[in-house]
Structures are given as structure tokens and as C-alpha cells.
Amino acid sequence: IADSMRGRVQADDATLQLGGLRDYLDKLAKSKRIVIIGCGTSWHAGLVAEYIFEELARIPVEVEYASEFRYRNPIIKEGDIVIAISQSGETADTLAAIELAKSKGATIFGVCNVVGSSIARATDAGAYTHAGPEIGVASTKAFTAQVTVLTLMALAAAKRKGTISDSLFRQLLAELESIPAKVEKVLQAADKIKEIAYIFTYARNFIYLGRGLNFPVALEGALKLKEISYIHAEGYPAAEMKHGPIALIDEDMPVVVIATKDSSYEKIVSNIQEVKARKGRVIAITTEGDTHLPGIVDFTIEIPKVHEVLVPLVSVVPLQLLAYDIAVMRGRNVDQPRNLAKSVTV
Ligand code: F1P
């Protein structure tokens, strides 16, 4: 993460380190609509970006699974920007979606990790994530780096459109610089996360809940667990629970809730109470200093306070660690999980 941040964030300009996108940022700021495409973890990074672009730059965003895009007749209008996100830069579905969007006249931006990859070459312009090689098959640091680059893009667009105040702009850039240190702090909770993993090593199912920007993080936490430990896990927006998944909750259902002190905190506390009333066991990701939730839930993992817009960069880390520890305890090969390929090229 530190590698992907280094040198990117400048005190007063979020554009300098956006590589090949530098000359396209006016176009981004003027776009009427952004369509983001990606698969798996990259799609989750796109969902986070949807919140950030809409909040800061007030540009409408749609996020599509690249694997579904070409199986309908997507409406792409003049002036639309398509952002393709891919760690490997070789994902066949993402490449096919780019070709389709291009044929309909969209301008394509890429957010890729692998320099010179097929997707990077197929785009009109792009910024590399520079997250270094992902050793394992399941994307981890790629997610954080993708969200960082997308946040910088949103900041650059917001600055050009005048939809962000100077003080918030500077605050977010300064906070971005502090993220690596905050992630280091989360890593200090590694032993506690291991203890929790030990207790739930043989759980058969997991539910992950989050609201706002932490909803895609819930999806990503569940995906990591599925990918490397082969435990069935589902992520939901916390308020969707009562529309079905609540029927699954009993004492055998661990529920991971990302309950950081953001604008939806009160609501998420009431979701937790609903789970506890049905004897679900709750592991909560909380903001440092929260004294309320430890009295209600079964386990807490604290993360440092960050601005709500940047919270996924930190809140995803304990979920990645939890999935990793459970997978190791179950004797899984975390770097090379069964049935998964690093680049899905067919
Ligand atoms: C997309 C992806 C990864 C996942 C796995 C399979 O890849 O779904 O998110 O962890 O490796 O592929 P990419 O387009 O981001 O390379």
C-alpha cells in the first residue's frame, strides 16, 4: 500500500501522479456519466468508487460486472466515460466489455496493475496502480491500490468541477498520506484477529454486513473468505438483512459487521442488535475508542479513525487478515486456492 501511495499525493494537486490520465482529467470532470466495469475484487473497488465519485464530484456512476456487460445491450452515450479496473490487465470479460463500450463511442480509462497488459493497451488512457506483483491469486493489495487511484481521480474531477471545498480537498489528501501508517496499526491487531479466526475456523457459513462505503467492503471480505478458505460467505448492505438473510441467523452464524463511527453508525448499531436478538455471533470492525460496541458484540477489531470517504482503505485490512488466518488454520493453500486462476483469460 505504501508503495502505491508513495509520491502520488501532493500537497495541493491530486493530478500529478495520475500518469497517463493527466491530460484527460478535464474530460473526466466534464463527463455526464461514468460507467465502471471490473470482475471480482476489481468490481468491488468500482463500487467503492461509485460512492466517492458521486459524493465528491457529483458525477452519476454505474458499476457493472464486466462479465455481464456484453450480455445485454448497454446504453452508452456520447461523453460517457468507462473506467475498466483490473489487477492483471488480462481478464477476458473486462477486455470484451471494453471493446463493446469502445464500439459504442465511449472513452475508456484503465486502472490496472500490470504495465503493458492487454487491458492497459486497449484503453484510451489510464493510471497504473503500482501495487507491485500480487503473489497470491486472490487480490488484496490490488484492492487498496485501485481504491486509492480511483479516489485521486474523483478528487481531481471534484477540484475541476468545484464540487469540493479547498479545505476538504486538502484534508483528504493529507489523510490519504496517513493511510499506510493507519494500516500498519491495524496489522498490530494480527494476534487478536488470529484468536478470532481460531474460534471460527470450522464455521460453515459467514455473513458480512456494511453500510455506505463499507457495503462493498463487506462484499470483499466475504469474497476473500470464499476464495481462500472455501467457506460459504455472503456480503449484504446491512439494511438488506431484514429482507431475507435475517432468516439465516442463529447461534451458528458468525456475522462480521463493519461498524465504524461514520454517518450510518447509529443505524448499524441497530442492525447489530437485530442480529444479537437472534443469537448471531458478531465480530465488529469498530473505530478506535468506541466503548459502546464492545458491550454489545462478541468480538471487536479496532481500526484507526479515518475520514468516511477513505474508510474502505483501512476497514478491508482486518477482513483480509481474518480470511487469511481462517484459511491457514484450515490448511488451505492461500496463494494458490483451488479452481482459481490469477488471470481469467477465457
Ligand atoms: C479479477 C479477479 C480477481 C480475483 C481472482 C480472479 O481479476 O476476479 O479479483 O481475486 O484473481 O480474478 P482482475 O481483472 O482484477 O485481474
DSSP string, 172-212: HHHHHHHHHHHHHHHHTTHHHHHHHHHHTTT-SEEEEEE-T
Same fold? 2-184, 188-329:
yes
Cell triple for residue 164? Answer: 469540493
Q: What is the mean pLDDT of the chain?
A: 93
pLDDT at 14: 59
Burial of 327 (0-12, 13-18, 19+ CB in 10 A): buried
Res 16: pLDDT:
58
Task: Tell the burial category of 178 from Cβ atoms under 10 Å away from its Cβ (0-12, 13-18, 19+).
Answer: middle
Which position has the higher pLDDT, 196 or 77?
196
What is residue 11's predicted lDDT score, i.e. its pLDDT?
45
Contact between residue 58 and residue 107 where contact means Cβ atoms under 8 Å apart: no
CA–centroid distance, residue 325 to ligand 1 (Å) = 21
Position in ligand 1 atom list of the atom nearest CA 91: 14
Q: With CA atoms as reference, report the closest residue to 150 among 165, 181, 172.
A: 172
pLDDT band, residue 15 (cuts 50/70/90): low
Q: Is 110 helix (H, G, I), strand (E, B) or coil?
A: strand
Locate 87 and state its grid cell: 489487477
Beta-bridge partners for 109: 83, 125
Going by the DSSP 8-state scheme, the letter that residue 65 receives in this structure is: E
pLDDT tens, residue by residue, 317-336: 999 999 999 999 999 999 88
pLDDT of residue 134: 78
Mean pLDDT (whole number) for 188-193: 97
DSSP letters of 36-54?
Answer: EEE-THHHHHHHHHHHHII
Ligand 1 atom nearest the C-alpha of 66 is: 14
Q: What's the pLDDT score for residue 12?
A: 53
Our CA angle for 123, 85, 131, nearest 5°, is 105
- Indicate the CATH number of 188-329 among 3.40.718.10, 3.40.50.10490, 2.60.120.1310, 3.30.460.80: 3.40.50.10490
Residue 231 Cα to ligand 1 middle (Å):
18
Cell numbers describing residue 215: 457495503
How much is the pLDDT for 343? 80
Q: How many angstroms is it from 341 CA to the middle of ligand 1? A: 8
End-to-end Cα, the chain, rounded Å: 30
pTM: 0.95
**Ligand 1 atom nearest to CA at 342:** 11
Q: What is the mean pLDDT of residues 84-88?
A: 96
Decide the pairing of beta strands 281-287 and 254-258: parallel
Q: Report, as an integer, the average pLDDT of 309-318.
A: 98
**Is any atom of ligand 1 closer than 6 Å to the C-beta of 117?**
no
Q: Is 113 in the pocket of ligand 1 (CB under 6 A)?
A: no
pLDDT at res. 3: 54
Q: What phi and psi values does residue 159 have, to the nearest 5 degrees? A: -60, -45
Is 2-184 in CATH node 3.30.470.20?
Answer: no
Looking from the CA of residue 38, the nearest atom of ligand 1 is 14
Tell me the C-alpha distance between 205 and 19, whole Å.
42
| Separation between Cα atoms, residue 190 and residue 326, nearest integer Å | 12
> Among residues of the chain, what percentage have pLDDT more than 70?
95
Ligand 1 pocket member 310 (CB < 6 A) = no
pLDDT of residue 6: 54
Q: Please give the backbone phi and psi of residue 323, each rounded to the nearest 5 degrees, phi first.
A: -65, -40
**For the CA of 88, the nearest atom of ligand 1:** 16
Mutation test residue for ligand 1: of 41, 112, 118, the one with most atoms within 8 Å of CB: 41
Look at 75-79, 84-88, 171-175 and tell me which has the smallest mean pLDDT.
75-79
Q: Please, are residues 181 and 170 in contact by the beta-carbon 8 Å criterion?
A: no
- 132 neighbors 3 (Cβ within 8 angstroms): yes
Q: Show me where the domains of the chain are located.
A: 2-184, 188-329
Provide the pLDDT confidence category of residue 133 given band limits of 50, 70 and 90: confident
Helix (H) or strand (E) holding 331: none
**Binding site membership of 199 for ligand 1 (Cβ less than 6 Å):** no
Name the band, by pLDDT with cuts 50, 70 and 90, for residue 141: very high
pLDDT for residue 92 is more than 80? yes
Q: What is the pLDDT of residues 259-279, one digit of tens each?
A: 999 999 999 999 999 999 999
Q: Cα(86) to centroid of ligand 1, in Å?
A: 7
- State whether the beta carbon of 94 lies less than 6 angstroms from ligand 1: yes
**Which pLDDT score is estimated for 5?**
57
Average pLDDT over residues 46-55: 98
Q: 97 CA distance to ligand 1 centroid (A)? A: 15
Which of these, 302, 278, 307, lies nearest to 292 by C-alpha position?
A: 302
Q: What is the pLDDT of residues 233-251, one digit of tens each?
A: 999 999 999 999 999 999 9
